[in-house]
Structure 1
Amino acid sequence: MLRIIFFAIVCLLIFERCAQQVTPTGGKKDSIPPTLVESSPLNKTLNFKGKKVELFFDEYVVVDNINQKLIITPEADNPYSYKQNGMSVALTFKNPFKDSTTFTLNFGDAIKDFAEKNPAKNLKLVFSTGSSLDSGRVYGTLKDVRTNKPIFDALVGLYNVTDTLNITKQKPYYFSRTDSSGVFSIENIQMRSYKMIAIDDKNRNMLYNAKDERMGFISKPINAGTDSVAYNIEMFLSDNTPLKIQRTLPKVNNYSVVFSKAIEKVQVTFMNKDTLPYLLEAGTNLKFFNVEPHPDSTLVKLTATDSLGKATDFEQKIAFQPQRGKERQRDPMTFTTQPEPNKPLDHEFTYKLILSKPISKIDDQKITLITDSLTHEPLSAFKSSWNANHNILTIQAKSFAKDSIKWDIPKGSIISVEGDTLPKTFLKHPVLKEEDYGLIKGRVTNADTSTRLIVQLVDEQYKLIETSYVTNYTFRHIPQGKYYLRVIVDRNRNQRWDTGEMDKDLQPEPIFYMPDKILLKANFELNDINITLPK
């Protein structure tokens, strides 16, 4: 009897397993996107007065993040809900559409097939609430002015031409987003004049955030439907927000003034006889050091200049926290170098020692340059200079080493304004071997002799490698690798690239790239690598 029962249980398990549904194997993967077979209203319908739009497809579909991906132009400010039902998607709008206007609904990749999630291609619906369709069109490309790379998913907007345009508060009337090649196209728009502006629009609110979003613009109003040219917009960062003191950080040893954005330089004027050492950290943090004796508080005037060259004045009271206990706890003194430790050095080189505190005393007899562990030369034998804040020492040095160059910095040879020092430090660098590096040489052609140019070599990540301020350039001791060559038109002759400002109708300084990437091999010279500027 037990055997019969056991046999019956086994059979039931086998039959149950056989009855389970499993996904069939084999066969071709569905790679065909869903096709729109009908819509309500029909594409290019005139005199549409409804509040519901419905799309019908040839297969089952799903909706993917439609609130972010559906672009409706002109900007309707008309909330909607959607319903997906098998092979159809319906959108119900809260209000009727504006009268006598052509609307375009561009769905992007918001609707996909159910099985393989293939997005419907070029899914767009156009209709008019008036008796005709608007036929204006503008198109073009976006790229980053610093890298020359196309910008994906940026917003290109057409704004009404007014004297009070504020893109931090006003949304564009028509807009589109760029594809992966940086290409945009805005169609079925009214044929009239617009202001064309592009923004990153990272949070997709269609408003410009100057602190962390790039922007670009066409200086003159564009005429939709009459201009046949492609518009090429170069985007750039331009933080034009007012400079403010964001907060202060009082401590026993120091007092920091933190600005709301990075500043290029700051001038400090002490309003009484007291003075304090200070330095600018990380571009935003102005730190004053508590060096006795000094009053309980010190009043200073600050003139801070931001990256746009705008200077702003502040008055600030510097007041340190009172000391508790007998011993003052200091932040340790740290440093960095340029070049970095272990980077090869040529026989003649410029060296920077960058310290975290202003320095009150340095013993240039004890600090020595050691050549191949045999020759010791004191720092005093070389030309050196301090920056204005006395925390960066620049050294012009020379060595005849064959293998290695070392800096020997004994403990106590560098004393900060707080009275502390570095521990005994060795900085070692191999001697640069010519055969491990290459040379790139050329000139800029077609250049206006009255224009100041800057030639730059950058790597594949657009990190700056070398700079030349003459048009016949030579870049020596370049590591093997791939590089780009670019030319900056230095309009204001300040030997740096300057960004643009839309409020002043000022475009960024132009940057021209050599179209082809440069491949440099070790122990190799590339001559006549010339850049021809457009006329």
Structure 2
Amino acid sequence: MSEIASKKHYMFRQSVFDRKKHTIRTILLCCIGTFITACASIGTPSGGDYDLDPPKVVKVTPEFNATNVQKGRVEIIFDELVQLEKQDEKIIITPPQQNFPNIRAVNNRVVVDLRDTLLANTTYTIDFTDAIVDNNEKNVLENFAISFSTGDVVDSLSVSGKVLTADNLEPVSGMYVGIHSDLSDTAFIKKPFLRISRTNELGKFTIKGIAPGKYRIYALNDINRDYRYNDPGEAIAFLDEVIVPSTEAASRQDSIFDIKHIFDTIKTVHYTRFLPDDIVLRSFTSSFKRQYLQKVERPSDDVLNIFFGSATQMPKIEPLDIPAGIDEWSVLERSAGNDTLKFWITKPAIVQMDSINLKISYYMTDSLNQLQPVSDTLSFVNRRRKQDEKEREKKEKEKEKRKKDGKEEEEKIDFLNISTDISQAFDVYKNINIEFDRPIIDLQKNQLKLKELVDSTYQDRDFVLSNDTLSPRKYIIQYKWRQGSQYKFEVDSAAIHSYDGRWNNKFESGFKVKTEDQYGIISFYLEGVPDSIPAFIEILDKSDRVIRKAKVSLPKTSVPNLDPGVYYARIVIDNNDNGKWDPGEYTESNKREPEMVYYYSKSIDLKAYWEMEEDWTVNKLPLDKQKPLDITKNKPKDNDRKKKELERREANEKRRGNSQNSSNTNSTTNNSNATNNYNNTYQ
């Protein structure tokens, strides 16, 4: 081949190679660009203002405060997509509706169709409370309500307040609050509410659309949703005073912030105040409970159980197939209200009976909530007898087999168990409580020993022994302890026997009584407590649980021998002087408010060997401001919760974006290196 031809052939090959190289480079760069663009489009840009604004109303049909409305359909249009949350619980329509309306959210609209026939010359109010939220961030449209009238006038007065549980001043949520223009005591029982509201999470309520006049106000946990009190199991509250809704001109100071949420100025806002706006209703459930025989059982050979649905007076019981009375062949263990009766059979011959029949006469609540005498025949069948016999036979065979094999073990004794509430560091004000796992034949004081350590020797001490009034298995030892002394409680082996032939193993428990410098004292100088009515103070822990109780003495009440710690306190005005808080009653013949309870509004940090003296005017603060927030269960919501959630969400998005950008950068770098390597190779 000539030199010229060879050069032409080389140039042709180089041209083809350059075109291939350029094509490959172009394809590779396009792929890299496409990959980076795709990665960059993932996620949403971070930064910018948070969406904290609730939905805005664009149009309402019928219009706000419209009159002479004939159709029971309401439509609200918003500026964005909306949802309804817990609409059956949160949305309140007044007058109360017998047929629950059809309420729904459709895109940016909320539609309400009332199913009850509209009443003439009546103001209707639909209170959405906080049920309406936007579709994305769930921002709540607070306290939104609309009113319209079927007549010429829209009633516009309102009253508001709180519902608290009467015994611990805890805010009550989800409770109906209603008014009656009929001022008789029977209206609450016989008539549905005229207008209603419902308490929110903090127990707050507002009844809207009220006409001028005089009213009585009630709260009701309306189980059967008939808007009247006809079930003693429903929690209620009532106010003895008549309320008269009114208005007054008022003003408040509002703080104004700039766009960066920095304080700017104070603005005076004038508004109409609706009164009364500080009503406090104290909720309780009647002590009335339906009485009925719930069930009977014989869980073992020697036990008969009878259960009632609520506290009852002691029934009359007669054996049908045993000649002796039940108290001659059993001992009774019962609850304080006699709703649980436990008969321990003490005669072996009766224990062996497969069935025991008793005639029982008691009182049962009828459909009119009246007590009626009833007699029943109860049959107690020992359904475990065959199973127990099989287990005993099995154990006997195993015992015989071990004996034949020369592996006989010492037979274990089934002792009568003893338990006490003795702790190594014992409180000076406590008694020793003793409990056996079965009733015992007879317990004498000389069968028990209490000793005190004196000069390195334990010496016997005399004490007071008493039976528990409800249980034949429980006893109480009372003694005036010396602070700082060491004691020992002992029971010799086989000193005590049960009816079924068991005896106790040796029991011994030592303890030391706490010294004075291990305790503190809380004293209150009280004002506002009536001196003619008994009352008691309860010292509470951080869980609102009662630690100690003391009768009120004026002007100073002290509670000694308290362990160091943080405490709270409340006072119960004990009208009937029975040492406990009692609920109220509301019947046609008897109306009684629950006993009054007051909380000390601060915590008390008690140190060892200190006496904390506190001034306490029980009615200085309104009831709804008394209970410390630390021990209140229904606390206010965190107003910044939504903002914090959005900040957290944006931070996560930013982290994902940074991670993705880092990945993209690495990918770009790697691909760039690959391109450079390619160029270096083929150039």
8 Å contact 1:440–1:529 — kept in the other structure?
no
8 Å contact 1:151–1:182 — kept in the other structure?
yes
1:512 to 591, 595, 598: 598
**Paired letter, 1:488:** V
Give 1 or 2: higher strand fraction: 1
CA deviations 1:427-447 (Å, max 9, x no partner) are: 454431322321112454455
The whole-number CA distance in structure 2 between the counterparts of 1:528 and 1:315 is: 57
8 Å contact 2:422–2:432 — kept in the other structure?
no
The whole-number CA distance in structure 2 between the counterparts of 1:75 and 1:348 is: 55
Unaligned runs of 5+ residues in structure 1 are none
Q: Are 1:133 and 2:163 an aligned pair?
A: no
Bigger RCO (CA 8 Å, 6+ sep) = 2
8 Å contact 1:142–1:151 — kept in the other structure?
yes
**Paired letter, 1:350:** N
Unaligned runs of 5+ residues in structure 2 are 1-19, 248-273, 393-413, 621-683
Per the TM alignment, residue 110 of structure 1 is displaced from its structure 2 partner at its CA by 1.4
> Alpha carbons of 1:20 and 1:35: their partners in 2 closer, same or farther (altered >3 Å)?
same
> Alpha carbons of 1:37 and 1:417: their partners in 2 closer, same or farther (altered >3 Å)?
farther
CA deviations 1:374-431 (Å, max 9, x no partner) are: 655668x311111334333111124558575443345544434444456555545443
8 Å contact 2:525–2:613 — kept in the other structure?
no
The whole-number CA distance in structure 1 between the counterparts of 2:580 and 2:364 is: 19
Per the TM alignment, residue 359 of structure 1 is displaced from its structure 2 partner at its CA by 3.1
> Alpha carbons of 1:482 and 1:316: their partners in 2 closer, same or farther (altered >3 Å)?
farther
> Alpha carbons of 1:217 and 1:301: their partners in 2 closer, same or farther (altered >3 Å)?
same
2:515 to 424, 433, 449: 433
Deviation larger for 226-235 or 248-257 = 226-235
Deviation larger for 364-373 or 200-209 = 200-209
8 Å contact 1:350–1:395 — kept in the other structure?
yes
Q: Are 1:254 and 2:309 an aligned pair?
A: no
Q: Are 1:345 and 2:422 an aligned pair?
A: no
Per the TM alignment, residue 150 of structure 1 is displaced from its structure 2 partner at its CA by 3.0
The whole-number CA distance in structure 1 between the counterparts of 2:196 and 2:220 is: 11
> Alpha carbons of 1:203 and 1:110: their partners in 2 closer, same or farther (altered >3 Å)?
farther
Q: Identity across aligned pairs (percent)?
A: 24
1:195-234 to structure 2, matched below 5 A, reads 195-200=216-221, 214-219=235-240, 222-224=243-245, 228-229=275-276, 230-234=278-282
The whole-number CA distance in structure 2 between the counterparts of 1:281 and 1:332 is: 26
The whole-number CA distance in structure 2 between the counterparts of 1:432 and 1:234 is: 41
Deviation larger for 87-96 or 498-507 = 87-96
1:262-281 to structure 2, matched below 5 A, reads 263=311, 266-267=313-314, 269-271=316-318, 273-274=324-325, 275=327, 276-281=330-335
Q: Are 1:175 and 2:196 an aligned pair?
A: yes
The whole-number CA distance in structure 2 between the counterparts of 1:376 and 1:268 is: 49
> Alpha carbons of 1:190 and 1:460: their partners in 2 closer, same or farther (altered >3 Å)?
same
TM-score of the pair, normalised by structure 1: 0.82
Per the TM alignment, residue 105 of structure 1 is displaced from its structure 2 partner at its CA by 0.8
The match for 2:497 is 415
1:240 to 281, 288, 298: 288
TM-score of the pair, normalised by structure 2: 0.66
Look up the SS of the partner of 2:583 in the other structure: coil
Look up the SS of the partner of 1:360 in the other structure: coil
| CA RMSD after TM alignment | 4.1
The match for 1:478 is 562
CA deviations 1:431-474 (Å, max 9, x no partner) are: 31322321112454455443222233223333222222341432
The whole-number CA distance in structure 1 between the counterparts of 2:430 and 2:466 is: 14
Larger Rg: 2
8 Å contact 1:371–1:399 — kept in the other structure?
no
1:134-173 to structure 2, matched below 5 A, reads 134-159=155-180, 161=182, 165=187, 171-173=192-194
Look up the SS of the partner of 2:426 in the other structure: coil
1:8-157 to structure 2, matched below 5 A, reads 14=35, 17-18=38-39, 21-94=42-115, 96-157=117-178
The whole-number CA distance in structure 2 between the counterparts of 1:268 and 1:51 is: 57
CA deviations 1:126-166 (Å, max 9, x no partner) are: 11111111234332222222223333333212246467557
Look up the SS of the partner of 1:68 in the other structure: helix
Give 1 or 2: higher helix fraction: 2
8 Å contact 1:369–1:376 — kept in the other structure?
no
Per the TM alignment, residue 249 of structure 1 is displaced from its structure 2 partner at its CA by 1.9
The whole-number CA distance in structure 2 between the counterparts of 1:203 and 1:113 is: 32
1:369 to 450, 456, 459: 450
